[in-house]
Structure 1
Amino acid sequence: MTRPRSAPHPETNPSRTINRDPDAMPPLTKAIPLGIQHIMAMFAGNVTPPIIIAGVIGATTGEQIFLIQVALFVAGIATLIQTIGIGPIGARLPIVQGTSFGFLPVALPLAGTFGLAAVLGASLVAGVLQVGLGAYLKKIRHWFSPVVTGIVVLLIGIILMPVGLNYAAGGIGNPDFASPTNLGLALFVLVVTILVHQFGRGFLKAASILIGLTSGYLLAIALGMVDFSSVGDAAWFAFPKPLQYGLEFHLSAIIGMTLIMFVVGLETIGNISAITIGGAGRQAKDSELSGGVMADGVATSFAALFNTLPNTAYAQNVGLITLTGVVSRHVVTIGGILLICMGLFPKLGGLVAAMPHAVLGGAGIVMFGMIASAGLKIIQECELDQRAMLIIAVSLSLGIGLPAVEAISETMPGQLGLLLKSGLVPAALAALLLDAVLPGKPSRVEPEPEDVIATRSEKVKSNP
């Protein structure tokens, strides 16, 4: 009997099964390169925050290598929590976790004032609270409208822009700060990144930041600007030590990190939705959203214990999934295992730590600008009426103005002044409060029940 054309055998079209089903497993010959691609797409973003925080706390080269090592190790563990899951924790989707830029605008002044231990203590508390956020997500999701989330993401990018430019000039304290060599090297990285992103296709486009960094690093080596002595001093293998810097708990640090945690949790929700809609062809289930946010919290607390900054789902990898159409969580699991392996070899961290600041600054100009662009994109999801414009106006004035006028924060008592100095915390509070009390807030569309989503998903699988 001849098989009808309208019902092809599943084995004749395996790519469709892989594209739509997060549980499908491609052959290892494809899965391993795809997993490596995910790591390459997130690598630069994952190691940049620990390098920046190391500069703020005056870390030695050995400490910088250690911070890079633990960032890689923690990102691998956190990724496995998302892809494999532990009970209700984890979205069980192809989510790559990594060190979050979102916490830097608050973490940097806190680290400069109290030290890294206070940042880690606040991160531990924020992570625990984020687990609670995930557990009760449906009840409080209405607090975070696109205008609130978009404002905060936009401000994160704006506040970090001077950090990128300081690095492009060679790093504060560098005797050659703003020299033509440093600025030229940063410009080279910036131009290469833009060209590859604009004209590259597929993997090249997704890895444009990494290609820009690599090109700049090689040029810096040719110019004799790289000192590899730190690589020779680093061990071949070492297990990351927990609580190396200890934990301290300061109220202002906890408040600041917790507020940003809420926003980053909403970013994770957006990333999960983008994966399921763009890759699996369906809306995200409540269990996937809740489990993903809870895994974010577990990863953030785990990161604090292992001396690194909070972790979150990486948006650049979501874009890679949408681009390639491969939604297999097992592919990302392979990437997570590779990250763990990389975190066990400090010499790799030494290679990254030897990178001149100007190289990192050239890529930072793009990365921090893209964060601000993402904030603008989120704001566009809401209607920009007079109500929304008022919220944006007040929040941006506080977020940008307060850091520029330090005398205001200096007149405030103790830890309150530190919160005002960041700009991001008062801006986030203003956005949340105004959005809650001003009349005319748009009503949210309730997500579909999971049984409806499941039914549609089964129809997609049965009709590829």
Structure 2
Amino acid sequence: MADGSIGSPEQLRDPNFTPPIAQAIPLGIQHVLAMFVSNVTPAIIVCGAAGFGFGSDSPDFPDMIYMIQMSMFFAGVATLFQSIGIGPVGARLPIVQGTSFAFIPIMIPLVAGKGVEAIGVLMGGVLVGGIFHAFLGLFIGRIRFALPPLVTGLVVTMIGLALVKVGVQYAAGGVPAMDAPEYGSALNWSMAGIVILVTLGLKFFARGMLSLSAVLLGLLAGYVFAFAMGQVSLGNVATAAPFALPDPLHFGLEFSVAAVLGFGLMSFVSAVETVGDVSGITKGGAGREATDTEIQGATFADGIGTAISGLFGALPNTSFSQNVGLIAMTGVMSRGVVTIGALFLIACGLVPKIGAVISSVPIEVLGGGVIVMFGMVVAAGISMLSDVHWNRRNMVIFAIALSLGLGLQLEPNALQYLPETMQVLATSGILPAALIAIVLNLALPEDLSDESTEEVSGGMSGHSRGSLAKDRRA
């Protein structure tokens, strides 16, 4: 979309340049379309895990609509922190914020089957985690050494692996319906399948906006199919309010050791992810490295945006990587464009009827989109791991961290004698994997990598520098 009618190449690389309003508005809405589904999905997953009813007659249903509404509103607010800035807060770059997937494996054990009463514990964790995240901004540049691609790639891969089960359950009929006879039925899977097929078709055979909005359009196709099959109820849309302001402490605030530790540790990972996104934006959009001030401001905004979200019943925010790719593709570095997108998100967050429409999407349709999104998270982690120097040392670190992290997640009863707080943290899978990888990476001497090849089980060999990939290119 970037051409001579928008601005000169120098202007397009300038964050302070705003294209003419006729181009700026569609560019801003394009940013919203690229992140919209990913932004509201965590709220639906958390509410489902807590046992909220998905029908309009459920007493918990208004709370789910509210959390969806706040996901949009505070994504817009946090984005304004980044694009406009307040003092040292904000990178003043076109960074789009949204609800983070990374925290879902931590949140699900905290609320599983406990209803709306458990959401206050989450909000306490969001608040403290956000404050800690902002504090990391004071020295984020000095701790990046502890998170090389080996660690960050492992963590992102673990996040995806922890969530793919949710996608399959949703596609089959939703976790609450596992004992129902229609769970896993052909109708349920056909609704999810339509989403997957349309998403793949648009992603690979379309261009521009159609390709960028593939998941959103796939969900719309699945929604239309579900409506035609009589699986959509719009009764809740009629009863939803046309306008509503954020409600402070809507779910209350409770503080538990498990929530505070879990959110604090994941904030550390999220902060480094934000640093990577800031670097990606400046490289892809302006052809330069991010400054220390930009990185620090982005981390401050990330944390403060998350902390404020917790006070109003929203989930943790982070920078969205898909929007980084969008900037590289369009070549438009304007923070004014992103500001327009943020205002659009805020407007959506003030209209509960939009949240009600989103909540009317059948769980099976959402499952099709979630399968694609969470699969992409795993793929992103594997892509990050391709940058790892695969010597004997790094293979051992990865093997132990993945085995224990994924194993504890798959078999949580293995830790049934631990205190409840430790069980919640350890069985998330992500935290033990991340901690093991960080500690081993810092503790194991580099001289373990002297041998270029190590024979392992089954006759497989670990090569020193991704030689298999080199062979394929040759």
TM-score relative to the length of structure 1: 0.91
Residue 329 of structure 2 corresponds to 323
Deviations 1:170-199 (A, max 9, x none): 201223221110111101100110111111
Partner of 2:244: 238
Following TM superposition, by how much is the alpha carbon of 1:116 offset from its aligned partner in structure 2, in angstroms?
1.3
Alignment match, 2:45: 52
| CA deviations over 1:371-429 (Å, ceiling 9, x no partner) | 11111122222211111111110111012101212221212122112212211111111
Question: In the alignment, does 2:24 pair up with 1:31?
Answer: yes
Q: Which residue of structure 2 aligns with residue 373 of structure 1?
A: 379
In the other structure, the counterpart of 2:166 is 163
Structure 1 residue 117 corresponds to structure 2 residue 120: yes
SS in structure 1 opposite 2:98?
strand
Contact 1:81 1:295 in 2 (8 A): yes
SS at match of 2:446: coil
Preserved CA contact (<8 Å) 2:81 2:90: yes
Matches within 5 A, 1:223-372: 223-372=229-378
1:259·1:428 contact (CA, 8 Å) conserved in 2?
A: no
Whether the aligned pair in 2 keeps the contact of 1:99 and 1:310 (CA below 8 Å) is yes
CA distance in 1, matches of 2:326, 2:222: 23
- The answer to which of 187-196 and 405-414 deviates more is 405-414
Equivalent AA in structure 1 for residue 16 of structure 2: D
Residue range with higher mean Cα deviation, 169-178 or 183-192: 169-178
- Any idea what the Cα deviations from partners look like across 1:132-185, whole Å, max 9, x if unmatched? 111111222211111111111110000000011111112012232211101111
Q: Tell me, in whole angstroms, the C-alpha distance in 2 between the residues paired with 1:354 and 1:424.
A: 31
* Counterpart selection for 1:184 from 190, 203, 208: 190
The question of whether the paired residues in 1 share the 8 Å contact of 2:49 and 2:108 is answered with: yes
1:12 Cα deviation after fit = 9.4
2:138 is aligned with 1:138: no
Structure 2, gaps ≥5 residues long: 53-59, 449-474
Structure-2 separation of matches of 1:99 and 1:18: 31
8 Å contact kept, 2:6–2:23: no
Query: Over aligned residues, Cα RMSD in angstroms?
Result: 1.5
One-letter amino acid matched to 1:61: F
Structure 1 residues 111 and 441: CA distance shift in structure 2, 3 A: farther
Match in the other structure for 1:63? 63
The letter for the 1-side match of 2:14 is D
The question of whether the paired residues in 1 share the 8 Å contact of 2:6 and 2:19 is answered with: no
**Does the CA contact (< 8 Å) of 2:80 and 2:342 recur in 1?**
yes
Counterpart of 2:291, as a letter, is: K
Deviations 1:99-140 (A, max 9, x none): 000000111111226811111111111111111111111222
Relative distance call for 1:13 and 1:57 in structure 2 (3 A) is closer
Segment drifting more, 285-294 vs 168-177:
168-177
Report the AA paired with residue 55 of structure 1.
G
Q: How many residues align?
A: 432
Q: Which of 187, 190, 196 matches 2:202?
A: 196
SS at match of 1:244: coil
Kept after mapping to 1: 8 A contact 2:42/2:101: yes
Please give the alpha-carbon distance, in whole angstroms, between the structure 2 residues aligned to 1:414 and 1:72: 33
Q: What SS does structure 2 have at the residue aligned with 1:320?
A: helix
Runs of 4 or more consecutive aligned structure 1 residues displaced over 6 Å after TM superposition: none
Give secondary structure in 2 for the equivalent of 1:366. helix
Q: Give aligned-pair identity as a percent.
A: 46
Residues 69-84 of structure 1 aligned to structure 2 (within 5 Å): 69-84=69-84
For residue 14 of structure 1, give the secondary structure of its aligned residue in structure 2. Answer: coil
Answer whether contact 2:65 2:359 (CA < 8 A) is retained.
yes
Match of 2:455 in 1: none
Check if 1:128 corresponds to 2:121.
no
| Aligned counterpart for 2:150 among listed residues 147, 150, 155 | 147
Question: Which stretch shows the higher mean deviation, 185-194 or 199-208?
Answer: 199-208
Aligned letter for 2:96? V
1:62 and 1:230 in contact (8 A); partners too: no
Give the structure 1 partner of residue 397 of structure 2.
391
> CA separation in 1, counterparts of 2:253 and 2:202?
42
CA shift at 1:14, angstroms?
Answer: 2.6
